Amino acid sequence: IERQLQALISNGEGAVNKEAFRQAVVNTLERRLFYIPSFKIYRGVAGLYDYGPPGCSVKSNILAFWRQHFVLEENMLEVDCPCVTPEVVLKASGHVEKFTDLMVKDEKTGTCYRADHLLKDFCNEKLQKDLTISSDKAAEIKHLLATLDDLSAEELGAKIKEFGIVAPDTKNPLSDPYPFNLMFQTSIGPSGSSTGYMRPETAQGIFVNFRDLYYYNGSKLPFAAAQIGQAFRNEISPRQGLLRVREFTLAEIEHFVDPEDKSHPKYSEVADLEFLMFPRQEQVSGQSAKRVRLGDTVSKGIVNNETLAYFIGRVYLFLTRLGIDKERLRFRQHLANEMAHYAADCWDAEIESSYGWIECVGIADRSAYDLRAHSEKSGVQLVAQEKYSEPKEVEKLVIAPVKKELGVAFKGSQKNVVEALEAMEEKEALEMKVTLESKGEVEFEVCTLGKTVTIKKNMVNIQKEKKKEHQRVFTPSVIEPSFGIGRIIYCLFEHAFYTRPSKAGDEQLNVFRFPPLVAPIKCTVFPLVQNQKYEEVAKFISKSLTAAGISHRIDITGTSIGKRYARTDELGVPFAITVDSTTSVTLRERDSKDQVRVDVEKAASVVKEVTEGQTTWADVWSTFPHQSSTATDD
């Protein structure tokens, strides 16, 4: 079977081959415990996966590199907030109201489905299998597929009715679509009265701490805060295996910046990078992603600002350093209908996998939305100040309610009216001024009274006045690169996977070409044959590797070296040391299968240097004597 799969994988691009390729990767990943379906002995839970030993190791290597590449390099402020979150925070952020998917229920069994998934499946099947549909109808269905995410509950329901879509398992009729909140809900404390949720993202923990973090940073902008942690999403019916799960690790950065100055001091370091970008305009006009110079997209106004571009560049460097194939990585700009109304610009790092192009990192300029929302809800001002070098004269609108007149007119309700007048936006106040001057009075809604009152000219003075200001107070914009770590890892597994024939040519062997940075185990140590002398050498090398902090395994099973290499290649271990003498050993590189001879005493330090990037395999290859592969190769 495996050979048949390989044949399918090695040529062609069709859906079947993608499926077969994915099966080969996923089989290897599960067989070697990169992943384990969670609670497997209890038949598991859809959308929950464990990282087994090599997967866990890859994950912690990636997170360590993320810390180095982002937090350390940019002096970010890392925080670590709880997953349990009180309702008030997620009401302010909008998640309680809007973090929903549309769901339909089998009217007889109560089984739940995502409404858009059912419609999507129907459309795809129609296009693929129904040869009788007209080209008009086909175009209509294609258009529907493209705009699926924009449909309201009513529109989705209407389409489901129109196409006669029924429950896939039972053929029973379906309910109308209704929103299902995707947060896991719980209760904090014993009383049952305090609702909480498992956070759907880590960002809110940063926003609510803005004031303290800004102060910690010496009250200076720009600065970035970062957080790595678990997030939760109670999917209606998880699909796409390891890509759409109910609990996942996010790594998020919130970069706070003056909305009037979104330049970045290190922008020039990334401006010359060239890679695949897919601006809105190209998507709309049906073109494909093109390789462009990042700096040009900024100068042409395609990317909104330098800081956003800086992070796009840094994300590109991060992903490719991990081993993501740069030909299967693109930065796609959100279309107007995908973006939240407050967002200034948004780009996704998408990685191509057997499931298609997968959003793995979102890089969004969210403007001042989040800080404003929490300022309003909490009553705590989340703002920054810019001190002027000399005071500036500014024109300011001053609303001065005349309390005496208001007291006479509204008695006990005076306070509410005063507050409502003072809270008017500039535009509203200016309109009131105009009306009062022309008509002498105006109808005015006081929300806190729940009614409209009549304001007369003598009750309020509205005036533009000149004032000296010593500082500007403003809500910073936030630029948010948000990394779905699990998705990056899965795509990396697909990009790193390949097969090659065994020496005898009788089977295909699996290899993960992880760079040493990512590899779960950096090195294996094999005594060539089971013998005490060799095992002692192996233990000596192992101790040196441990002391150097290099993760490794000794394999003293009696299997052939070829088999042991195959086993280690399948885990993506980049280097193997075969102990075949007591003075020097064979050091083999995984992908080239090249081998050199290194003194026993030097073996650990050579592996350390090439693993940590102080040297390259090419250097090692040119420094040490080559070893023919006859004795120890597969």
Q: Are 574 and 620 in contact (CB under 8 A)?
A: no
Told to check if 526 binds its own copies by CB under 8 A, we report no
Question: CA-CA distance, 630 to 634, in Å (whole number)?
Answer: 9
Residue 319: which of 288, 284, 348 has the closest Cα? 348
Question: CA-CA distance, 581 to 591, in Å (whole number)?
Answer: 24
Give the count of beta carbons closer than 10 Å to the beta carbon of residue 335. Answer: 13
Q: 51 to 70, contacts with its own copies by CB under 8 A?
A: 51-53, 55-57, 59-60, 64, 67-68
Per CB under 8 A, the segment of 139-147, 213-221, 500-508, 523-531 that binds its own copies is 213-221
Per CB under 8 A, the segment of 397-405, 510-518, 550-558, 623-631 that binds its own copies is 550-558
Per CB under 8 A, the segment of 8-16, 104-112, 149-157, 257-265 that binds its own copies is 104-112
Minimum Å distance from CB 297 to its own copies? 27
Told to check if 80 binds its own copies by CB under 8 A, we report yes
Q: Which is nearer to its own copies, 29 or 406 (CB)?
A: 29
Q: Are 497 and 28 in contact (CB under 8 A)?
A: yes
Q: Which is nearer to its own copies, 170 or 622 (CB)?
A: 170
Looking at the chain, how many residues does it have? 634
What is the phi-psi region of residue 326: left when phi exceeds 0, alpha when psi lies from -120 to 50, beta otherwise? alpha
Told to check if 48 binds its own copies by CB under 8 A, we report yes
Q: Which is nearer to its own copies, 55 or 295 (CB)?
A: 55
Minimum Å distance from CB 345 to its own copies? 28
Told to check if 374 binds its own copies by CB under 8 A, we report yes
DSSP-based three-state secondary structure for 251:
strand
To which residue do tokens 């590109």 refer? 316
Per CB under 8 A, the segment of 181-189, 294-302, 464-472, 493-501 that binds its own copies is 181-189
Kindly write out the interface string for residues 216-255 of this chain, putting x where it contacts its own copies by CB under 8 A and - elsewhere: x-x------x----x-x-xxxx--------xx--------
- In the set 189, 301, 356, 505, which binds its own copies (CB under 8 A)? 189
Told to check if 187 binds its own copies by CB under 8 A, we report yes
DSSP classification of residue 28: H
- In the set 12, 86, 265, 501, which binds its own copies (CB under 8 A)? 86
- In the set 18, 29, 66, 85, which binds its own copies (CB under 8 A)? 85
Measured N-to-C along each axis, helices 153-163 and 115-129 cross at an angle, to the nearest 10 degrees, of 40
Q: Which is nearer to its own copies, 33 or 317 (CB)?
A: 33
- In the set 42, 260, 412, 505, which binds its own copies (CB under 8 A)? 42
Element (H or E) spanning 119, and its range?
Answer: helix 115-129
Told to check if 383 binds its own copies by CB under 8 A, we report no
Residue 106: which of 156, 160, 170 has the closest Cα? 170
Per CB under 8 A, the segment of 20-28, 72-80, 272-280, 317-325 that binds its own copies is 72-80
Query: 3-class secondary structure for 302-357?
Result: CCCCHHHHHHHHHHHHHHHHHCCCHHHEEEEECCHHHCCCCCCEEEEEEEEECCEE
Tell me the CA distances in angstroms from 390 to 96, 123, 386, 470, 476, one per residue in order.
Answer: 45, 64, 11, 7, 22
Question: CA-CA distance, 480 to 473, in Å (whole number)?
Answer: 22
Tell me the one-letter amino acid at 17.
N
Question: CA-CA distance, 555 to 562, in Å (whole number)?
Answer: 13
Q: 387 to 406, contacts with its own copies by CB under 8 A?
A: none
Q: Which is nearer to its own copies, 213 or 343 (CB)?
A: 213
Q: Which two tokens stand for residue 143?
A: 């258009």
Question: CA-CA distance, 502 to 566, in Å (whole number)?
Answer: 8
Told to check if 608 binds its own copies by CB under 8 A, we report no
Told to check if 78 binds its own copies by CB under 8 A, we report yes
- In the set 8, 9, 89, 573, which binds its own copies (CB under 8 A)? 89
Q: Which is nearer to its own copies, 208 or 478 (CB)?
A: 208
Q: Which is nearer to its own copies, 210 or 410 (CB)?
A: 210
Per CB under 8 A, the segment of 110-118, 312-320, 325-333, 583-591 that binds its own copies is 110-118
Per CB under 8 A, the segment of 211-219, 406-414, 443-451, 464-472 that binds its own copies is 211-219
Q: Are 508 and 499 in contact (CB under 8 A)?
A: yes
Q: 12 to 41, contacts with its own copies by CB under 8 A?
A: 32-33, 36, 38-41
Asked if the bond preceding 222 is cis, omega within 30° of 0, the reply is yes
Told to check if 536 binds its own copies by CB under 8 A, we report no
Told to check if 339 binds its own copies by CB under 8 A, we report no
Q: Which is nearer to its own copies, 462 or 607 (CB)?
A: 607
Q: Which is nearer to its own copies, 323 or 520 (CB)?
A: 520
- In the set 2, 7, 10, 46, which binds its own copies (CB under 8 A)? 46
Question: CA-CA distance, 527 to 540, in Å (whole number)?
Answer: 12
Told to check if 208 binds its own copies by CB under 8 A, we report yes
Measured N-to-C along each axis, helices 115-129 and 135-146 cross at an angle, to the nearest 10 degrees, of 150
Q: Are 485 and 248 in contact (CB under 8 A)?
A: yes
Minimum Å distance from CB 265 to its own copies? 11
- Angle at CA of residue 345, ends 343 and 351, nearest 5°: 115
- Angle at CA of residue 124, ends 118 and 126, nearest 5°: 100
Told to check if 77 binds its own copies by CB under 8 A, we report yes
- Tell me the number of residues near its own copies by CB under 8 A: 82
Question: CA-CA distance, 67 to 72, in Å (whole number)?
Answer: 6
Q: 282 to 321, contacts with its own copies by CB under 8 A?
A: none
Told to check if 110 binds its own copies by CB under 8 A, we report yes
Tell me the CA distances in angstroms from 417 to 422, 445, 467, one per residue in order.
Answer: 9, 9, 26
Minimum Å distance from CB 108 to its own copies? 14
Tell me the CA distances in angstroms from 137 to 116, 127, 133, 142, 143, one per residue in order.
Answer: 19, 9, 6, 9, 10
DSSP classification of residue 70: I
- In the set 28, 93, 209, 353, which binds its own copies (CB under 8 A)? 209
Told to check if 562 binds its own copies by CB under 8 A, we report no
